[in-house]
């Protein structure tokens, strides 16, 4: 299509383009304009100089990060925690969506669905406070229950304990997000042609075979797209949750990049350093998305772009 | 026709959306501006046209950030004290308060340029570093050429009234320029305020285990004392009683450090100093606390709990020994003690002090507690200085601390005496709101210049039981009295070393690393955590920075013994 034809088409549908304009402006203002702030990572940020007037510092802050004695540990922790969240947290909404699809009682199905996505709206501060109260080894109801049924002799220290840290982090993340993340899969399943199920039933396929041969292939494309997007957050383990749930007892396995950036930037006023670490996170995320997208395109013909 | 109408309506809706969004965006910008203006007194900038010279006789509004976590306003907009200040100075004060970390707040306001007209906040940690950075980067108003008009302010920062190292580091560090005011340093020895930091045990629990708290002196005594409490298996409402606990984020369970080392910097033995973190004493201190944690003597939640949770534990009677300053303990345990007579907290010790002779008075690092600055956003510098000078006068000091004469207090034989109705009202109100609604404790105290509480009449609002408890604790914990430190703090000198910028991020980790080491699985693991940071400090310039510090402190009196205050 030539440029003049394109402009003619745009002009013909100008009203619709006008409706699109607020979104375009929003993205431009809040996603592209702030990109110029990236240069802070390469400057010695000064209040008076601002983003553009501060002196150049080259790669000083990147060097500082990689020279930092805990940087490897922090990167490792970040990848490990978000890797676990990616693997487990990615699969569980699919499982929930499939299970809900198999429920025939509509009222029960709706109730479970509503209850499962309500935690998504609860702030991490509240979630962590609830966890502290429920899981406390000093009079927490969970430990009391486990003791009362004779499952444990001594109360378990669920929090501030390296042995239980990952379980708590991943478990609470799943609890909070499973319902919300499953919505898109439920929608995808709803879009599958019911005749396929009927045909499968006639051919003698049971529930599991129907799931395996119809439901899963039906949501495969959506799952691949969401997986590609999720890989982008591999360098970001979630700052709110880790900031609140990680403590001195678990710092060796719970210190992650997001919290490190917040502490360095706001806590210590090292804005350039924080920007450098943040940029490092973003660059790795971009590389991951591009790589996974390419692999997905080759393997499954499904990709973002 | 219909299509035309539809097109027109659609266009209008779209334009409204775009326009609304753009207006929203521009509002953001304006908000920043208007916030700034409001901060400078909405009426002010209009009245004065931004002139900083004409404010003195006009009514202005000054926005002050009181950067002190835990401070806050009462339930009324204008308090009687704030009204009296307005009458005297023409200035209406609008306070903004900090709810989170003070250091983060300093960094945030300068980074985002969301600046108050006047900033007042702590002057002992990273906050001061942030303020010095702001001064260096031309974010603060130089008041040096105005001080001759404001004698009370000039007195606050006169060289003889500010601890020497702090003067060198902050007040007088900018040549002829002066950016900072400094407050609440005692005007005389009599005004020195000892907060009585220490370990305090519940009297009934000490009785139950049969140990006299005053017989606890050494590290081993304290350990055995806590162990005995643990072994007694005490329960409150079916929940175990922790032998040792503290307030939010572990404040201030670490004060047992004074049994291991004298101050943050110690003599290596050859007359030169090193940071205590590098010493064997620091390792001993860490391993001692590791033992407390691993044996269940120290509440493991203490380093991660919030203040409400800490206070809940105290109010449930679940803490046997509390570490903090005494006023905080008295306030936190007030309700529980009222409901359970005989459960009041009493001092443990006095405990041994590393390197101090037995009859040495307690060395208190009283260096004042507030630095106040005027930011470049302030359009009413003179009005702000007039306000601050009034607050720092005797009249202002008395107004802020005692209230309005004839309303809140009367002068009897030259001394202020609280009015009984207010005294009773304040003491009956555990929330503290009654006092705040009158204008006490909402931030003005932080700007009243040299501390003259005792010189001008004492704390007239303290109840007799509290005074008696404080006096009793003082007799026990300070048998040889107190001494106010006037020597150089090596940390202030180190902060001026060329290596400080690269070293600071490592040194900022010391507190966190100590906590991690305390929770380590073994002594070896704890020492490894410490050694890793030591190496990082060395890598980032520690040795050169200490060399600089030692050279600059040659021949000067240096703080090597200090108790928390």
ipTM value? 0.88
The shortest CB-CB distance from A139 to any of B22, B107, B238 is to B238
Question: Among B238, B164, B274, B45, which Cα is nearest to A147's?
Answer: B238
Q: Locate the chain B residue with the closest alpha carbon to A243.
A: B304
d(CA A87, CA A107): 31
Q: Locate the chain B residue with the closest alpha carbon to A138.
A: B239
To probe the interface with B, which of A46, A57, A249, A272 has the most B CB atoms within 10 Å? A249
E runs forming strands in B338-391: 345-347, 362-364, 370-374
Structural domain spans, chain A: 1-42, 58-300
Confidence label for B57 from pLDDT (cuts 50, 70 and 90): low
| Cα A19 to chain centroid, rounded | 30
Shortest CA gap A175–chain B (Å):
23
User: Has residue B194 got a pLDDT over 70?
Assistant: yes
Q: Is B377 on the interface with A (CB under 8 A)?
A: no
The CATH H-level superfamily of B197-362+484-553 is Periplasmic binding protein-like II (3.40.190.10)
The shortest CB-CB distance from B21 to any of A25, A46, A160 is to A25
What's the DSSP call for residue B244?
E
Chain A residues closer than 8 Å to B15 by CB: 18
Shortest CA gap A22–chain B (Å):
6
Q: Is A264 on the interface with B (CB under 8 A)?
A: yes
Q: Tell me the whole-structure pTM to 2 decimals.
A: 0.86
Interface list for B 395-434 with A (CB within 8 A): none
Coil, strand, or helix at residue B69?
A: coil
Tokens representing B36? 């700034």
Confidence label for B21 from pLDDT (cuts 50, 70 and 90): very low
The pLDDT mean for chain A works out to: 93
Report pLDDT for B10: 52
Report pLDDT for B384: 97
Q: How many CB atoms lie within 10 A of CB B528?
A: 12
The pLDDT mean for chain B works out to: 88
How many angstroms separate the first and last alpha carbons of chain A? Answer: 20
Contact (CB<8Å) A269/B130: yes
Query: pLDDT tens digits for A111-169?
Result: 999 999 999 999 999 999 999 999 998 889 999 999 999 999 989 999 999 999 999 99
User: Has residue B33 got a pLDDT over 60?
Assistant: no
Coil, strand, or helix at residue A178?
A: helix
What's the DSSP call for residue A28?
I
Question: Among A200, A5, A218, A11, which Cα is nearest to A97's?
Answer: A218
Domain B60-192+368-448: state its class. alpha beta
**Residues B143, B385 contacting (CB under 8 angstroms):** yes
Query: pLDDT tens digits for B435-472?
Result: 999 999 999 999 999 999 999 988 999 888 888 999 99
Q: Is B245 on the interface with A (CB under 8 A)?
A: no
E runs forming strands in B353-407: 362-364, 370-374
Could you give the count of Cα atoms lying within 13 Å of A215 in the half-sphere of its Cβ?
A: 22
Q: Locate the chain A residue with the closest alpha carbon to B512.
A: A248
d(CA B366, CA B369): 8
Q: Locate the chain A residue with the closest alpha carbon to B103.
A: A267
d(CA B524, CA A218): 55
Interface list for B 39-98 with A (CB within 8 A): none
User: Has residue B23 got a pLDDT over 70?
Assistant: no
Shortest CA gap A249–chain B (Å):
5
Question: Among B106, B166, B164, which Cα is nearest to B137's?
Answer: B106
d(CA A143, CA A122): 24
Chain B residues closer than 8 Å to A19 by CB: 10, 14, 17
d(CA B504, CA A268): 9
Range list for CATH 3.40.190.10 in chain B: 60-192+368-448, 197-362+484-553
* Structural Rg of chain A based on CA atoms: 24
CATH topology of domain A58-300: MetI-like fold (1.10.3720)
| Buried b / exposed e along B26-61 (16+ C-beta atoms within 10 A) | eeeeeeeeeebbbbbbeebbebbeeebebbbeeebb
Q: Is B14 on the interface with A (CB under 8 A)?
A: yes
Shortest CA gap A229–chain B (Å):
28
Contact (CB<8Å) B516/A251: yes
């Amino acid at each position: 299509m030539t440029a003049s034809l394109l402009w003619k088409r745009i002009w013909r549908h100008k009203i619709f383009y006008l409706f699109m304009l607020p979104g375009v402006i929003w993205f431009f203002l809040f996603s592209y304009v702030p990109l110029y702030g990236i240069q802070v990572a390469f400057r010695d940020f000064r209040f008076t100089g601002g983003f553009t007037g501060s002196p150049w510092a080259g790669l000083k802050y990147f060097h500082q990060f990689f020279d930092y004695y805990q940087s490897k540990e922090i990167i490792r922790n970040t990848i490990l925690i978000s890797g676990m969240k990616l693997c487990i947290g990615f699969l569980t909404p699919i499982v929930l969506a499939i299970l809900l699809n198999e429920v025939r009682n509509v009222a029960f199905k709706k109730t479970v669905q509503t209850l499962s996505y309500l935690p998504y709206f609860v702030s991490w501060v509240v979630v962590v406070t609830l966890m502290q109260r429920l899981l406390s080894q000093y009079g927490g109801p969970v430990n009391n229950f486990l003791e009362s049924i004779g499952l444990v002799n001594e109360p378990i220290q669920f929090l501030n304990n390296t042995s239980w840290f990952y379980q708590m982090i991943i478990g609470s993340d799943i609890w909070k997000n499973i319902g919300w993340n499953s919505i898109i899969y439920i929608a995808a399943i709803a879009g599958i042609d019911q005749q396929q199920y009927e045909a499968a039933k006639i051919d003698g396929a049971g529930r599991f075979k129907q799931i395996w041969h119809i439901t899963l292939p039906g949501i495969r494309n959506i799952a691949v797209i969401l997986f590609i997007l999720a890989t982008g957050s591999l360098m970001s383990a979630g700052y709110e949750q880790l900031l609140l749930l990680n403590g001195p007892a678990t710092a060796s396995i719970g210190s992650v990049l997001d919290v490190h950036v917040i502490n360095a930037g706001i806590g210590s006023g090292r804005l350039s350093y924080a920007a450098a670490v943040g940029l490092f996170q973003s660059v790795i995320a971009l590389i991951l998305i591009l790589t996974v997208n390419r692999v997905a395109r080759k393997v499954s013909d499904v990709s973002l772009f | 026709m219909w299509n035309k109408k539809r097109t027109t309506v659609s266009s209008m809706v779209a334009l409204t959306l775009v326009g609304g969004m753009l207006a929203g965006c521009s509002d953001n910008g304006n908000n920043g501006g208007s916030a700034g203006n409001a901060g400078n007194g909405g009426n002010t900038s209009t009245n004065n046209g931004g002139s900083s010279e004409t404010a003195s006789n006009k009514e202005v509004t000054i926005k002050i950030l009181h950067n002190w976590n835990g401070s806050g306003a009462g339930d009324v907009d204008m308090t009687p004290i704030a009204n009296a200040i307005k009458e005297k100075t023409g200035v209406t004060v609008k306070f903004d308060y900090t709810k989170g970390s003070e250091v983060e707040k300093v960094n945030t306001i300068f980074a985002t340029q969301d600046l108050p007209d006047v900033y007042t906040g702590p002057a002992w940690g990273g906050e001061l570093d942030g303020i010095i950075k702001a001064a260096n980067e031309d974010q603060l108003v130089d008041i040096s050429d105005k001080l001759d008009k404001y004698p009370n302010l000039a007195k606050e920062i006169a060289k003889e009234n500010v601890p020497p190292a702090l003067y060198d580091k902050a007040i007088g560090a900018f040549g002829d320029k002066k950016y900072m005011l400094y407050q609440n340093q005692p005007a005389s020895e009599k005004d020195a305020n000892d907060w009585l930091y220490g370990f305090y045990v519940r009297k009934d629990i000490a009785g139950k285990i049969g140990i006299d708290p005053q017989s606890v002196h050494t590290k081993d005594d304290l350990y055995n004392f806590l162990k005995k409490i643990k072994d007694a298996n005490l329960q409150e409402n079916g929940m175990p009683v922790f032998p040792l606990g503290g307030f939010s984020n572990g404040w201030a369970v670490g004060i047992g450090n004074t049994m291991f080392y004298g101050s943050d910097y110690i003599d290596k033995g050859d007359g030169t100093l090193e940071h205590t973190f590098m010493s064997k004493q620091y390792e001993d201190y860490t391993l001692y606390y590791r033992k407390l944690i691993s044996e269940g003597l120290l509440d493991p939640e203490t380093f991660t709990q919030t203040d409400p949770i800490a206070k809940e534990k105290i109010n449930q009677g679940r803490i046997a020994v509390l570490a903090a300053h005494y006023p905080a303990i008295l306030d936190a345990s007030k309700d529980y003690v009222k409901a359970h007579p005989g459960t009041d907290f009493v001092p443990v010790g006095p405990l041994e002090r590393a390197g101090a002779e037995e009859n040495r008075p307690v060395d208190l690092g009283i260096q004042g507690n507030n630095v106040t600055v005027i930011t470049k956003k302030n359009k009413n510098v003179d009005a702000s200085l007039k306000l601050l000078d009034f607050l720092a006068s005797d009249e202002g000091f008395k107004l802020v601390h005692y209230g309005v004469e004839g309303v809140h207090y009367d002068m009897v034989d030259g001394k202020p005496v609280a009015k009984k109705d207010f005294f009773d009202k304040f003491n009956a109100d555990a929330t503290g709101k009654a006092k705040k609604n009158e204008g006490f404790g909402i931030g003005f105290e932080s700007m009243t210049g040299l501390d003259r509480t005792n010189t001008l009449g004492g704390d007239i609002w303290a109840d007799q039981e509290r005074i008696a408890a404080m006096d009793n604790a003082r007799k026990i914990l300070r048998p040889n009295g107190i001494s106010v430190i006037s020597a150089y703090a090596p940390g202030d000198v180190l902060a001026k070393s060329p290596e400080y910028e690269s070293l600071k991020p490592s040194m900022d980790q010391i507190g966190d690393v100590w906590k991690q080491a305390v929770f380590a699985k073994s002594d070896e693991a704890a020492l490894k955590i410490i050694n890793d940071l030591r190496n990082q400090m060395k890598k980032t310039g520690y040795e050169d920075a200490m060399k600089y510090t030692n050279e600059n402190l040659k021949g000067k009196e240096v703080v090597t013994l200090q108790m928390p205050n």
